[in-house]
Amino acid sequence: MLLQIQKLYKNFYLGGENIEVLRGVNLEVNEGDFISIMGTSGSGKSTLLHILGCLARPSSGLYFFNGKNVLDISDQEQARIRAHWIGFVFQTFDLLHELSVAENVALPFLYTKTVDKSAKDKVNEAIDQVGLIHRKNHRPSELSGGEMQRVAIARALAVRPKLILADEPTGNLDKANSQAILSLFQELHQKGATIITVTHDYDVAQASQMIYSLEEGYLETVNPRLEEIG
Ligand SMILES: Nc1ncnc2c1ncn2[C@@H]1O[C@H](COP(=O)(O)OP(=O)(O)O)[C@@H](O)[C@H]1O
Ligand SMILES: [Mg+2]
């Protein structure tokens, strides 16, 4: 098993008020799984994804990643796990506009402090995997939205992480570009990648192997044939 969370709770205190966003979430993900988590806006999808990616800590609960209790370790150790083992893809792509495609994809190696020749090969391979090698030296502003998201996916893949986390990856894309990104995820999944994507769009969720829904702070499995969900 790649990761396991148990009885995960997350509260936020906002203006003296206590908001319970996650209220006992359980989830197990195996290597090679491609799962999606659906839920309406504000249901806590990003909150859950940030915890899974060691970008935030829960209020209580257990989280084991790659056999390690990641709630029991320092922020610095968490950052190391994040840099080496987890790739993020965001709705807004989050590319640095003054850098080229290749430089953007190489950024994760700054965090792992392993900028060497093999890093260069990995950058090229990741860009090739998303079909943008001919755009390597372009700036993000010269690319379409769909291409920018491909660059962000290449950046997530570059260090060959154990887990890819995608937060509404098609949220800023039109239908054709969304479909292309979903096909790319399916292709990466077939090659063995482990992917967790969150979305409020049932069409996006359907690209995955397994669908969960997050509502009222709980995670439940969704039968993919229940078309009325979402
Ligand atoms: N850092 C924060 N401080 C206070 N409240 C937050 C914070 N992050 C998220 N929330 C609240 O938690 C709830 C879930 O947010 P979020 O996880 O972003 O939902 P989703 O991604 O499903 O739209 C929302 O009510 C949001 O306002
Ligand atoms: Mg969100």
CATH of the domain at 135: 3.40.50.300
Question: Is the per-residue pLDDT at 205 higher than 80?
Answer: yes
Task: Tell which wins on pLDDT, 29 or 111.
Answer: 29
Asked whether the beta carbons of 44 and 21 are under 8 A apart, the reply is yes
Quickly list H helices, 130-200: 145-157, 175-190
Please tell me whether the overall predicted TM-score, pTM, comes out greater than 0.85 for this model.
yes
Q: How far apart are CA 38 and CA 12, in angstroms?
A: 21
Higher pLDDT residue, 224 or 138?
Answer: 138
Work out the pLDDT band at 217, boundaries 50, 70, 90: very high
- Residue located nearest, by CA, to atom 4 of ligand 1: 12
Q: What does pLDDT average to over the chain?
A: 94
In a domain, 230, yes or no: no
- In-domain check, residue 228: no
| Alpha-carbon span 175 to 185, nearest angstrom | 15
Residues 108-122 pLDDT 10s: 998 888 777 889 999
Query: Could you tell me the pLDDT band of residue 203, with boundaries at 50, 70 and 90?
Result: confident
Q: Which atom of ligand 1 is nearest to the CA of 200?
A: 22
Residue 56 vs residue 227, higher pLDDT: 56
| Position 41 in a domain | yes
Model confidence at 14: pLDDT above 70: yes
pLDDT at residue 115 in the model: 74
Q: Stretch 177-189: mean pLDDT, rounded?
A: 95
Cβ(166)–Cβ(91) below 8 Å: no
* Smallest CA separation from ligand 1 atom 2, residue: 12
| Protein residues whose CB sits closer than 6 Å to any atom of ligand 1 | 12, 14, 19, 21, 39, 41-47
- 207 lies in some domain: yes
| CA–CA distance, 190 with 10 (Å, rounded to integer) | 33
Q: Does the pLDDT value for residue 228 go beyond 70?
A: no
Q: Which ligand places an atom closest to the C-alpha of 21?
A: 1
What is the number of the ligand closest to the CA of 44?
1
Measured CA to CA, the distance from residue 170 to residue 64 in angstroms comes to 28
Looking at the CA of 14, which ligand is closest? 1
Report pLDDT for 226. 53
In the chain, how many domains are there?
1
pLDDT above 80: residue 35: yes
pLDDT of residue 113: 81
**Containing structural domain, residue 201:** 3-222
Confidence of residue 177 (pLDDT cuts 50, 70, 90): very high
Backbone phi and psi for residue 9, each to the nearest 5 degrees, phi listed first: -120, 145
Q: Is 136 in a helix, a strand, or coil?
A: coil
Ligand 2 centroid from CA 42, angstroms: 7
Say yes or no to pLDDT of 224 above 80: no
| Cα-to-centroid distance, 41 and ligand 2 (Å) | 7
Q: Does residue 227 lie within any of the structural domains?
A: no
The residue whose CA is least distant from atom 8 of ligand 1 is 47
Nearest CA to ligand 1 atom 26: 42
